[in-house]
Copies of this chain bind each other. A is one copy, B any other.
């Protein structure tokens, strides 16, 4: 394992979620938490985030036992970021019921000196200006991956494009890249993103899998076939955690490593959706991860 820890900047939230399989109240969530819980199986990881006084500290201790360094999650006075949503009967859509930013509204991440040399950085879905401010504090990491969402695309596109100029991989879902580029064909859309700076785009498509678009090669992975989906919340961030956790454990980043990173992203995303919150991610063994990698190989290989 590479000793240089993987850095993630993002939300640390409390989620109340209702799905056809049940519901959960104020469970730990947020992009930095799902990402870390997925990545920690393969790499040391340091999440940078902010929580309020209401955050359940015992749950954070569990994360610590997973090997996640929690010292950069700062507790401040106020309420934690709270999100509440409900999924449709077939999981195909969800409705956001409540979003209370709380202390996350003024999140101004500070990268401590001992972490400015981190080799791999994930910029979770936050304001593109905040993402840029993080980059300014770093000595250029070898690999910068960033996420975003429709709100930033429609309201802060200029800031987002300025950020993308300095990012290696944009990781978004299919509707986001279509909105960002105004192009419905994913291959054509990825070429537009390449022209803005990123050397690669990863497009996440939920149950349909994900596609890596390099400038002159691509890799596609279907979703694993699951019969026990409980809660899709956090699947994308868990994918990112598996993807970067795998890469962070490698000395160099080859095409074969990127392919395998897509596989690990898919596998970690598949675990994430099998429970509410990070419950399933916390209990995975290395063996069960390898078993799903093999499953994915059996699902896709021919000849």
B-contacting residues of A (Cβ < 8 Å)? 89-92, 178, 184-188, 205, 207-209, 211, 213, 217-223, 225-227, 229, 256, 259-260, 262-263, 297-303
Contacts and interface: CB of A to CB of B under 8 A. Distances in A.
22 contacts: A89-B184, A91-B184, A92-B184, A185-B227, A185-B229, A187-B227, A205-B208, A208-B209, A211-B222, A211-B225, A217-B298, A219-B299, A219-B300, A220-B222, A220-B299, A221-B222, A256-B302, A256-B303, A259-B302, A297-B302, A297-B303, A301-B301
Contacts of A207: 186
A97 to B, nearest CB: 22
Contacts of A298: 217
A247 to B, nearest CB: 14
Contacts of A185: 226-227, 229
B302 A219 contact: yes
A226 to B, nearest CB: 7
Count of chain copies: 2
B302 A263 contact: yes
Contacts of A90: 178, 184
B225 A187 contact: yes
A220 B171 CA distance: 23
Contacts of A205: 208
A173 to B, nearest CB: 13
Given A208-B205, A208-B208, A209-B208, A221 B184 contact: no
Contacts of A222: 209, 211, 220-222
Nearest to A184: B90
Nearest to A90: B184
